[in-house]
Amino acid sequence: MAELSLREAVGRAIAQEMRRDPNVVFMGEDVAAAGGVFKSTVGLLEEFGPERVIDTPISEQAILGAIMGASMTGLRPIAEIMYSDFFAVCWDLVVNQMAKTRYMTNGQVSLPLVMKTGNGGGLRFGAQHSQSIENWAMAVPGIKVVMPSTPRDLIGLFAASVRDDDPVIFLEQKALYASKGEVEDGEIVEPLGKAAIRRQGGDATIVTIGTMVPRALEAADRLHQEEGISCTVIDLRTLIPLDAACVLDMVSATGRLFTVEENPRVLGWGAEIASIVADEIFYDLDGPLVRIATPYIPLPAAGELEDKTIPSVDAIVETIRKRMG
């Protein structure tokens, strides 16, 4: 057992899979000699050598193309797209190529690849280095979307992503890199498509993911202490595949659903969850479905502005208190 930061978990996760399978290679901008801009891949070049840990040019299309072609021909590559915002310059490879090739070829091609990326806000980087792109990724049939909230989950879900035969976007929340958690020794693998119930309560269900998980948990504690409102908190962990059954079970039990989403509100993943709940367990509901999300604006840089934009613990507490009243 050790206490690891999420940043340290990234390196351990990659190393775990590279030690296990010689067909796993890793590439990206500044990931090898420099150990990554977030210092999450330090030591991998030294352990695995330059043929498996590769510094690339600033060529996101070349990077994603390389892992796609490599995955079609026997390797299990991992690429880092430094900031998830940069997917915008290589989105063709994701949307038109990776997501569709297996289907179009009637199953002739498998793409066992992982695109890991630093996602989300909270670090005052401004509008082009802070976006939460999980709803972009979910919008395209054919891409799995994973977002861990703890160091242990990061290792386990990363292992499952590497071993999965389909393309995965693996979202590492930059705001959580410094957060710590207990991680046991030895190999860790967590299945994709299985949510984690982080807290149980009888009055409302909060469904969330990523950076919003610790905020939702803190908000739930405060709601319990201050208002006597007892919440279940579900960490979805993966958006595709989606553990809808877990959400339906918990919302049925509590009668209320709140989503807490870092992505901009319009067409955020919470809208899909709300639609599933409204469609399938409408008569179990005791009140409106409420989404707590980042508003429909680019993220501002200054701390005061960013903190008022992304759902905060205060905003979660306040919204749930009002809407439960």
Radius of gyration of the chain (CA): 19
Instruction: Summarize as ranges the residues that interact with other proteins (CB under 8 A).
Output: 25, 51, 56-57, 59, 61-75, 77, 92-93, 96-97, 101-110, 112, 141-142, 164-166, 193, 240-245, 276
CB of 276 to other proteins, least distance (A): 8
Catalytic residue among 76, 129, 144, 174: 129
Known catalytic residue: 129? Answer: yes
By C-beta, is 141 or 288 nearer to other proteins?
141
| CB 53, CB 45: distance < 8 Å | yes
By C-beta, is 5 or 110 nearer to other proteins?
110
Looking at residue 109, its amino acid is V
By C-beta, is 213 or 248 nearer to other proteins?
248
Cα–chain center distance at 165: 19
Strand partners, 181: 4
Q: Give the phi and the psi of residue 168 in degrees, each rounded to 5.
A: -125, 130
Cα separation, 212 vs 214, in Å, equals 6
Spell out the SS3 assignment of 161-211.
HHHCCCCEEEEEEHHHCCCEEEECCCCCCCCCCCCEEEECCCCEEEEECCC
By C-beta, is 72 or 315 nearer to other proteins?
72
CB of 16 to other proteins, least distance (A): 20
Looking at residue 149, its amino acid is S
By C-beta, is 51 or 185 nearer to other proteins?
51
Strand partners, 182: 3
Looking at residue 205, its amino acid is T
Q: Give the phi and the psi of residue 129 in degrees, each rounded to 5.
A: -135, 25
| CB 129, CB 85: distance < 8 Å | yes
Task: Write out the catalytic residue numbers.
Answer: 129
